[in-house]
Structure 1
Amino acid sequence: MSGKKETMGKHAAAPQSPQDASQTQQIPPVQQAQPGAFNSAFQAAGVSDPKVGKGFNKRLAMRVGIVIAAVLLVVYIAGAFFFSGHFFPNTTLGSQDISLKSTSDVAEVATDIGSDYSVTVTGDGLSFTVSSSQAGLEVDGQEVAEQSIADNNIWLWPIEVFRAHDESANLSSEYSESGLGDVVRQQVETFNATATDPVNASVQYSSASGQFEVTAEKAGTKLDVDAVILKVNDAVLDMSSSAVLGTSELVQPTVLSSNPALTTAADTANSYLTADIELVLGTTAIHAADIGANEISQWVVIGDDLAVSFDEEAMDAWVEELAVSLNTVGTERTYTRPDGQTFTVSGGTYGWTIDDDAMVADVEDAIRNGLVGQLTVATTLEGYTYNGSGVQDWGAYADVDISEQHVRFYNEAGELVWEADCVTGKPDGSHDTPTGVWRVLNKKTNYTLTGDISVATGQPEYETKVSYWMPFTYSGCGFHDATWQSAFGGTRYKDGYGSHGCVNLSLSDAASLYDIIAVGNAVVVHE
């Protein structure tokens, strides 16, 4: 030995004895792993670093993950492929459940839906049903199925299978517009026969307020045929089972209360209502009638263009009615003579006659100018007074009593100021003194009375000079002196001494009457 002592590394294995070697070959029973056992295992396997074992686990897990992913991908792709031609669960088309059905199956379903389809139209008081045959309706089932399947989001099928799907929106149809339109039109027109039209907003006079006011439009019950057809068309196109009509399908008012032109028209019309007119007769302003808002409102017209004007015909009618009540010329009038006797006469030229045309023009002008006050009625003839129709409307007058053959003259106060006997016309139907209420037309002295022209001679039947002439008819009858009469009064007028129609007086009586009677005074001739 060299005397050097060899030192063993601290990790070197100690030499084994034969006994130890034999003991090493014996495999002890498996026991629970103790801490550090895996390290010992890795060492036994020739792996000196435990971190390398952890990498092995990761690779194993990765391999398992890849296998699972591959399986899921296959399932996913298979699902996407399946749902490219089949519908998801919980899918409906109209009222039909088409879950998991194929495109071809759904095409048949859609076609059947079209065959069985009908739409019920209700609302606004109308109710009827249109069948697919009436509408000439056809559904392209294949197109509906293709459009519906196109809605499938196949790449999200794992999520979509849990959702509800309604493909009814893809239900569409082709139909005969004329056929459907005819059915709907007939139903609506029958309904409209008893329906009410809408009422446009307008300007109306309110007697309560005494003003023109804007009245609101009112909906009627009449349906707009075209609007209903459009509503039903839309329902049929969408294969909807109902079409519910609303206010939009009613015939709508064309003028609404919001139209500012209505307010303008009302303001213009109301400006005419400011007039407050009293109609009066003659220079003494005898009350005849009143014109206020209630009357004016009947004559104001607001046209379709909302222009304000006067209804001339309505005004004419009102004036004519008033004139009839005011006109007395020729009408039957009853009066009591101051001596107490009562007579009824008709005919003649004395009294009131209203000038209708002038009165209409005057009233319209007064309304436009807002007159508040009196307006004298335009006349062509005037009486002395007016107390209504059928009564005395004269003042001073000559009373010719044919039965008594006597003439009396009364002043405005009804006082007898003159009287005399007379001879009136021969009562033969041609020369009678005409009865009625007349007026003195003029007065003349030293006048020549001329008779009618004779057909045989071509000359006047007579030419007679008189001192006093007071005619009261346009036919030539009047008061005059008749010096050829030997007497007056009695029955001479019936005994062959009657005149050609005039009232014969003595010269002195004619002179006296001439002095007191005035042109325009009434002459009342009666039996």
Structure 2
Amino acid sequence: MQNKKKKRKKKNQKMVLWSSLGVLFAFLLGLLIAGSVYCSSHFIKGTIINEIDASGLTMEELESRMREYVLTVRERTGEGSYITETITGDQIGVTVSNTDELNGILKQQNILKAISSYIKGEQQVYTVENLYAYVDSALMTAILKLQGFQESFVVEPVDAHISEYDAENGYRIVPEIRGNVLNQTKTIQTVETAVDALLTEIDLEKAGCYEEPSVYADDAKLTERLAQMKQYTDLRIVYHFGQQEEVIDGSVLSGWLLVDEETNKVSVSEEKIDDFVVMLRKKYDTIFRSREFQTSYGKTITIEGGDYGWWMNYSQEQEQLKEMIRNGESGERIPVYYQTAAVYGSQDYGNTYIEINLTAQHLFLYVNGEKKMESEFVSGNAARGFDTPAGIYGITYKEQDAMLVGENYETPVSYWMPFNGNIGLHDAIWRDSFGADIYKKSGSHGCINMPYLKAKELYGEIAKGTPVICYYLDGTESEQTIGQPDAEKAQAVVDSIAKIGTVTKDSKKKIERARQLYNDASAEQREYVTNYEVLTAAEEAYQSLKK
């Protein structure tokens, strides 16, 4: 009985096994049949046709995808934001033109190849000639209609650069503007490639289709150039001309800068510096210019001639200013002058000057606006053509005990104050009177002859550079004269003897001069020489030193 049960159980187990195997076989057969049916109508995973991923698509779906094709194009605005536009298959006239080869690909597929591709991740790559087509001109039209090619939409790229100089902020780097100018050739190529591959979107910026600036704000060369420019425009050089001021600062220097594009070196135009100094000279030099002058006679006159006034040595000033700028030095600057005047302005002679009325033969000395002295004089001999020239001059130098030498004379004077070449003020102890019209027939060779004591007084009050204002003024003719008595003439001898001082081997000239003045004096004048014994003693002492 037990054996029968065992046999029955074993038989049942075999029947279940065969039934299971039958079901599995039927399932696998059905799967194989279904897979074969699927492979006959769908492209298997990994199928790439003309760079189009056709995995899982039926031929109808692939055709539909090609016919309903839409390409989304991402573009950049001029402000840096983004927009998108589309190019559709309808716009460019897409047509499917080779279905035979597509059917051939489907026929080549089988379930085993599908399973292998799925497991191994293999790709089946096909190139189908004339798979689909589009109208080239239609695509070109669609591309050129993109916003990126419309003039109103386009912003040109601008390189980062250094700004114009601003008085408040100076120079600064202006950042670049990327803009959105498309490179037409690159853009057309990029879109055509995308359409050929049936890509659904492209980014023109990522594809490198835009013209970009060549210089950016962080450019090392630009930063270095800015630093050099600021080094100059941070300078401040100030000239003072009386109440007026001339300033060389960034607003001026910015117009003088030169940039060598090859070396990136910044320099200052020497021509501009030269022009600036020439401007200063023309504006502030007063030498050889006419001036208005208020005479002591109440009349304002215009005085021409003379060499008094500000006279800039502009060539040296140009070089020194260039050096100052090159060295990066700020500060106040005084120009280099050949000659200066008392003050700046049209009345550059100031309020300390010698006023000489050649018509009245009368002079005045003003010191700080106050009349200090006045005197008659004798000027150049008009009859002989030695008229003293009008004009404004300056005392060239002062000298005591000078010898005036001419073509036919040698005349010793005690106080010599030249102002116009060989023309000057000096004492004239050989004259008995001064003023009126003496000069017309008995005048000098052009100098201003003065009484001894007046010349001595004047000499003590003036300095080198003191203005001398000479003019003729009709209506001021005078008959007034002053005399020069023997006592005053003798004073020149007394003073000359007094100057000998302690006798040394170097005293010869002083002794000889005093002796000459004494010998030239009249008997009446000698009576007023109170220190004659000093002269004789000095002569004896000097002779002793020679032994």
| Category of TM-score, reference length = shorter chain | 0.5 to 0.7
State the alpha-carbon separation in 1 of the partners of residues 73 and 290 from structure 2. Answer: 76
Distance 1:119 1:72, change over 3 A: closer
1:437 counterpart SS class: strand
Q: Which residue of 1 aligns with 2:469?
A: 524
State the alpha-carbon separation in 2 of the partners of residues 514 and 193 from structure 1. Answer: 88
Pick the aligned partner of 2:14 from 55, 58, 66. 55
Distance 1:123 1:277, change over 3 A: closer
Q: Which residue of 2 aligns with 1:380?
A: 338
1:391 counterpart SS class: coil
Worse overlay, 233-242 or 61-70: 233-242
Shift of 1:379: 0.9
Worse overlay, 294-303 or 67-76: 294-303
Shift of 1:77: 1.5
Contact preservation (8 Å) 2:157, 2:213 = no
Shift of 1:354: 1.9
Shift of 1:381: 1.4
- Normalization by structure 1: what TM-score? 0.54
Pick the aligned partner of 1:256 from 217, 234, 248. 217
State the alpha-carbon separation in 2 of the partners of residues 499 and 138 from structure 1. Answer: 119
Shift of 1:76: 0.9
Contact preservation (8 Å) 1:423, 1:498 = no
Q: Which residue of 2 aligns with 1:163?
A: none
Pick the aligned partner of 1:218 from 175, 199, 202. 175
Distance 1:142 1:301, change over 3 A: farther
Q: Which residue of 1 aligns with 2:498?
A: none
Distance 1:407 1:193, change over 3 A: farther
Deviations along 1:171-219, whole A, 9 cap, x unmatched?
Answer: 998979xx99x979xx8796799857343267978746xxx77x34423
Shift of 1:421: 5.7
Q: Which residue of 1 aligns with 2:315?
A: 357
State the alpha-carbon separation in 2 of the partners of residues 221 and 60 from structure 1. Answer: 76
**Number of aligned positions between the proteins:** 418
Contact preservation (8 Å) 2:362, 2:435 = no
Pick the aligned partner of 2:345 from 365, 385, 389. 389
Distance 1:328 1:81, change over 3 A: same
Shift of 1:350: 0.9
1:238 counterpart SS class: helix
Q: Which runs of 5+ in 1 are unaligned?
A: 1-10, 12-35, 160-169, 450-462
Identity %: 12
Q: Which residue of 2 aligns with 1:234?
A: 190
Deviations along 1:284-336, whole A, 9 cap, x unmatched?
Answer: xx898586865796588584555454443444444444444432212343344
Q: Which residue of 1 aligns with 2:77?
A: 123
Shift of 1:222: 5.1
State the alpha-carbon separation in 2 of the partners of residues 260 and 471 from structure 1. Answer: 63
State the alpha-carbon separation in 1 of the partners of residues 224 and 250 from structure 2. Answer: 20
Q: Aligned ranges for residues 191-340 of structure 1 at < 5 Å?
A: 197-200=158-161, 207=168, 215-220=172-177, 223=180, 226=183, 229-239=185-195, 249=210, 251-252=212-213, 254-257=215-218, 259=220, 262=223, 266=227, 270=231, 298=254, 301=257, 303=259, 307=265, 309-337=267-295
State the alpha-carbon separation in 1 of the partners of residues 443 and 192 from structure 2. Answer: 100
Q: Which runs of 5+ in 2 are unaligned?
A: 119-130, 474-547
State the alpha-carbon separation in 2 of the partners of residues 268 and 125 from structure 1. Answer: 30
Contact preservation (8 Å) 1:302, 1:309 = yes
Q: Which residue type is aligned with residue 21 of structure 2?
A: M
- Is 1:75 aligned to 2:34, yes or no? yes
State the alpha-carbon separation in 1 of the partners of residues 240 and 25 from structure 2. Answer: 118
Q: Which residue type is aligned with residue 77 of structure 2?
A: G
Q: Which residue of 1 aligns with 2:365?
A: 410
Q: Which residue type is aligned with residue 467 of structure 2?
A: A
Q: Which residue type is aligned with residue 292 of structure 2?
A: T
Contact preservation (8 Å) 1:272, 1:368 = no
1:80 counterpart SS class: helix
Shift of 1:390: 1.1
Distance 1:200 1:371, change over 3 A: closer
1:50 counterpart SS class: helix
Q: Which residue type is aligned with residue 523 of structure 1?
A: V
Contact preservation (8 Å) 2:285, 2:309 = yes
State the alpha-carbon separation in 2 of the partners of residues 314 and 189 from structure 1. Answer: 46
Q: Which residue of 2 aligns with 1:420?
A: 376
2:376 counterpart SS class: strand
State the alpha-carbon separation in 2 of the partners of residues 222 and 431 from structure 1. Answer: 83
State the alpha-carbon separation in 2 of the partners of residues 437 and 241 from structure 1. Answer: 94
1:51 counterpart SS class: helix
Shift of 1:52: 0.9
Contact preservation (8 Å) 1:332, 1:345 = yes
Deviations along 1:50-92, whole A, 9 cap, x unmatched?
Answer: 321331232234234323422331221232132249999xxxx
2:60 counterpart SS class: coil
Deviations along 1:97-135, whole A, 9 cap, x unmatched?
Answer: x864287x579x56x97xx99989662279999999xxx
Q: Which residue type is aligned with residue 391 of structure 2?
A: G
Q: Which residue type is aligned with residue 155 of structure 1?
A: A
State the alpha-carbon separation in 2 of the partners of residues 328 and 86 from structure 1. Answer: 100
User: Which of the pair has more CA radius of gyration?
Assistant: 1
State the alpha-carbon separation in 2 of the partners of residues 424 and 245 from structure 1. Answer: 96
State the alpha-carbon separation in 2 of the partners of residues 353 and 406 from structure 1. Answer: 30
Distance 1:197 1:262, change over 3 A: closer
Distance 1:397 1:243, change over 3 A: farther
1:523 counterpart SS class: strand
1:56 counterpart SS class: helix
State the alpha-carbon separation in 2 of the partners of residues 250 and 72 from structure 1. Answer: 57
Distance 1:120 1:268, change over 3 A: closer
State the alpha-carbon separation in 2 of the partners of residues 225 and 100 from structure 1. Answer: 37
1:348 counterpart SS class: coil
Contact preservation (8 Å) 2:377, 2:450 = no
State the alpha-carbon separation in 2 of the partners of residues 420 and 467 from structure 1. Answer: 21
